[in-house]
Chains A and B, each alone.
Chain A
């Protein structure tokens, strides 16, 4: 059996989250998936995990357009934490706006900008798990 990964999905669209989870399931590469409807819940959880000495998720999938704390605010908020170096963030957004894609590049924590929809061969395509 290949190595298993853990992930956070931060997205307020329940349908997308459901579909994404199906795709993750089909990949057979994840043993832990947690989802959060906005950035604040995810930040709270990350801080909690750090404080309790738990392992952080291997990959964070982050939507941009969300209520309360949106994707950008999430990125700004974790910027000042030391754990920021240990997380791999992939923005998964329906945005195809070049300004947003460029803006995302300014964050070292962001590994890539992925525009929705995502396909079934998503993980192979982006070589996320190598």
Chain B
């Protein structure tokens, strides 16, 4: 064999070991530790030595990451050497490519180690390779021979150097592989959250949607591609018009004030065209000029919450209404029943006290009148109690115009007698889902009022209009009668037993009942009026 073969080429053992290392996958290692263990063992085999170790520089110390002792067939760790004790050795590591010491005790680079390390361990020869990463010294790979002196060959040096190079690569790959696994796992977790959560996540950068979570596009019914094409304006366009101004001003005033976190509720139109309630919590990052860089939205479907909320509100207003009704009953009992019974008891006292038959008879007539009034009051009371809670099953769909026309027929007598002209301005096809008896009573009450409180100076004129505004029917009844002084009576108009014209026929129940009926049908009633000009009642159903 030539010198080249002997000294400059890897021998077969080296070659096969290195080849195996090159081909091994970094995925095989379960831990970083196992990489070092493999390399220290390989060094012992390849160089036919007793000990091989890897030491890492940690601050001022050299820490033994792994040491393989072939005679004991065991790995050792955590031995520490202080770099301050070994200045020459360290300088050599920093400056050189290897410390090749055939006689460790006399070698100028290794003799610092002799008392504490070399002599106690019986080391005779050392081959120490500095390990660098990105040009920076990070550790040293030590190959140590014991007992009978040997001479390190070029091949040994080459093999050891190659081992160190591969070691650095393997450790680096292992670390990045581990990082990759962490990243993948994080991404998997994030996508689990964003795909299966009820919340949607959206990132807007520079007025463009740059990220939308699958959960969000699923919730909205748009595909991810469709959402990525959306601009901020497109998102605003899908917000319910009744909520838009509020959302718009919340968002833009918050952005103007550089608010980092804010939230708002609104109805949003999904791709199916249906609105649902959402709550957006925005988290905004601003640049140094105050313009926003990132606008991150967590959007939640709060329809169920809103529905529950509305139910609570409905129940609240229902119980409020019932409570008001209870107060009204107390009022009837207190004023109207008691006023009659107290009159009757006074009459009885007076009958007792009277001396003549004429006087007695006079009181008896009064007693009869009082008795009739009491019966009447009780009848009204019963009428009021009859108003039950709304039952959907009682509702039917009616044609508004023909219903109003039919209602007028029952009033024909008084209409003719008082020369009332009535104009019905309702389109033929207008329909309403309602409880007919209540709707009938509303119409009759308002018309009766309009005629009863006519002006003595002119023939009564009444116009009735009806139109659909959104999902609501707006009905108006306008007359040219006496009018009501709204400044004076504004809180009393719809109250029970409130009358405004000193009219002996007035029961004070008409408008009270009308309001009750309208409310039972889920609507509202309001009025405009001018004294001596007339009154317009507006009903929304």
What is the interface of chain A, defined by CB distance below 8 A to chain B?
13, 15-16, 18-19, 22-23, 26, 37-38, 65, 67-68, 93-97, 115-120
**Can you sample 28 A-B contacts with CB below 8 Å?**
A13-B339, A13-B343, A15-B366, A15-B370, A15-B373, A16-B342, A16-B346, A18-B366, A19-B343, A19-B350, A22-B350, A23-B346, A38-B502, A65-B339, A67-B498, A67-B500, A67-B501, A67-B502, A67-B508, A68-B502, A94-B335, A94-B339, A94-B342, A95-B338, A96-B338, A115-B342, A116-B343, A117-B349
B373 (CB) vs chain A CBs: closest residue: A15
Q: B369 contacts which chain A residues (CB < 8 A)?
A: 15
Residues of B in contact with A, size category = 20 to 34
Most-contacted residue by chain A among B338, B369, B506 (CB, 10 A): B338
What is the interface of chain B, defined by CB distance below 8 A to chain A?
330, 334-336, 338-339, 341-343, 345-347, 349-350, 353, 366, 369-370, 373, 497-502, 506, 508
Q: Enumerate the 8 nearest inter-chain pairs by beta-carbon distance, A residue then B residue, closest first.
A: A117-B342, A116-B342, A94-B339, A94-B338, A67-B499, A117-B346, A117-B345, A19-B346
A100 (CB) vs chain B CBs: closest residue: B334
Query: Given A16-B343, A67-B508, 11 more contacts at CB 8 Å?
Result: A16-B346, A19-B350, A23-B346, A67-B500, A67-B501, A94-B336, A116-B339, A116-B342, A117-B341, A117-B342, A117-B349
Q: B350 contacts which chain A residues (CB < 8 A)?
A: 19, 22-23, 120
Distance in angstroms between the alpha carbons of A96 and B332 in the assembled complex: 12
Assuming the contacts A15-B366, A26-B353, A37-B502, asked whether A116 and B338 have C-beta atoms less than 8 A apart, the reply is yes
Selected from A15, A23, A65, A118, the residue in CB contact (under 8 A) with B335 is A65
CB atoms of B506 and A67 under 8 A apart: yes
Q: A118 contacts which chain B residues (CB < 8 A)?
A: 346
Distance in angstroms between the alpha carbons of A27 and B186 in the assembled complex: 99
Q: B497 contacts which chain A residues (CB < 8 A)?
A: 65
Most-contacted residue by chain B among A15, A37, A68, A96 (CB, 10 A): A15
Q: A16 contacts which chain B residues (CB < 8 A)?
A: 339, 342-343, 346
Q: B508 contacts which chain A residues (CB < 8 A)?
A: 67
Distance in angstroms between the alpha carbons of A23 and B347 in the assembled complex: 10
B366 (CB) vs chain A CBs: closest residue: A15
A116 (CB) vs chain B CBs: closest residue: B342
Distance in angstroms between the alpha carbons of A18 and B366 in the assembled complex: 10
Q: A96 contacts which chain B residues (CB < 8 A)?
A: 334, 338
CB atoms of A117 and B343 under 8 A apart: yes
Q: Name the distance in Å between A115's Cβ and chain B's nearest Cβ.
A: 8
Q: Name the distance in Å between B340's Cβ and chain A's nearest Cβ.
A: 8
Q: A95 contacts which chain B residues (CB < 8 A)?
A: 334-335, 338
A15 (CB) vs chain B CBs: closest residue: B343
Distance in angstroms between the alpha carbons of A22 and B338 in the assembled complex: 20
Q: A15 contacts which chain B residues (CB < 8 A)?
A: 343, 366, 369-370, 373
CB atoms of A19 and B334 under 8 A apart: no
Most-contacted residue by chain A among B369, B370, B502 (CB, 10 A): B502
Q: Name the distance in Å between B361's Cβ and chain A's nearest Cβ.
A: 14
Selected from A23, A97, A117, the residue in CB contact (under 8 A) with B334 is A97
Q: Name the distance in Å between B59's Cβ and chain A's nearest Cβ.
A: 85
Distance in angstroms between the alpha carbons of A13 and B347 in the assembled complex: 14
Selected from B334, B339, B349, B502, the residue in CB contact (under 8 A) with A120 is B349
Q: Name the distance in Å between B375's Cβ and chain A's nearest Cβ.
A: 15
Most-contacted residue by chain B among A26, A37, A38, A96 (CB, 10 A): A96
Assuming the contacts A13-B343, A15-B366, A116-B339, asked whether A97 and B330 have C-beta atoms less than 8 A apart, the reply is yes
Distance in angstroms between the alpha carbons of A80 and B142 in the assembled complex: 110
CB atoms of A19 and B366 under 8 A apart: yes
Q: A23 contacts which chain B residues (CB < 8 A)?
A: 346, 350
Q: A13 contacts which chain B residues (CB < 8 A)?
A: 339, 343
A22 (CB) vs chain B CBs: closest residue: B350
Q: B373 contacts which chain A residues (CB < 8 A)?
A: 15
Q: Name the distance in Å between B154's Cβ and chain A's nearest Cβ.
A: 113
B501 (CB) vs chain A CBs: closest residue: A67
Q: Name the distance in Å between A70's Cβ and chain B's nearest Cβ.
A: 9
Distance in angstroms between the alpha carbons of A13 and B335 in the assembled complex: 11
Q: A97 contacts which chain B residues (CB < 8 A)?
A: 330, 334
CB atoms of A119 and B339 under 8 A apart: no
